[in-house]
Copies of this chain bind each other. A is one copy, B any other.
Amino acid sequence: MRADAARNRAKVLDAARELFAEKGFDVPLDEIAGRAGVGPGTVYRHFPTKQALFQAVTEARVATMIASANEPSDDPGGALVAFLGRMAEEAAAKRDLSDAITVPSELRDSLHTALGGLLRRAQEVGAVRTDVTTRDLVALMKGMLQSMHEGANPAVLLEIVVSGLQSSRKP
């Protein structure tokens, strides 16, 4: 790879990181190219599609989260709560995480699977009501994360969801 190509690739990644974090996946690709100081064609030379660029930007961070979710714990209930807290914290600062849950990709699927595992283990020790499905949890998270970009209080929302999950099933 030529030196200027590597330089431009890095500039594109930097700009994409900033803008995806700031405005989410919906930011126009031309805007990313503009901030990187290159043309749109250059972006497509390095990444075949917009989603590929998004994935390249979020991959490392999300993979770390997934790994931490998958490592065993002697307190599965606490592990789930901690994980949700970490996601809330992250989503409050950067807008791309909430899109990483939504935009179709292998990464998204792994994240859902990891959440499912956390949920199942928490349910097995009785820390979370058993009628909640992975799908329900993902939906809740999605709503919660998106809400954080509209002025809602992350901590309060998180507490509500967590204590809701822990509540016993209605008779």
Q: A-side interface residues toward B, CB under 8 Å?
A: 129, 131-133, 135-136, 138-140, 142-144, 146-148, 150-153, 156-157, 159-165, 167, 169-170
Contact = CB atoms under 8 A, between A and B. Distances in A.
A159 B165 CA distance: 9
A159 B164 contact: yes
Contact of A147 (B132, B143, B150): B143
Contacts of A142: 143, 146-147, 150
Contact of A139 (B140, B150, B159): B150
A139 B157 contact: yes
Given A136-B156, A140-B157, A163-B164, 20 more contacts: A131-B153, A133-B152, A133-B153, A135-B151, A136-B147, A136-B160, A139-B147, A139-B150, A139-B151, A139-B157, A140-B144, A140-B147, A143-B143, A143-B144, A143-B147, A159-B169, A160-B167, A161-B161, A163-B163, A163-B167
Task: Give the residue among A132, A147, A163, A164 with the most B Cβ atoms within 10 A.
Answer: A164
A143 B41 CA distance: 37
Contact of A156 (B131, B138, B152, B160): B131
A152 B141 CA distance: 12
B157 A160 contact: no
A152 to B, nearest CB: 4
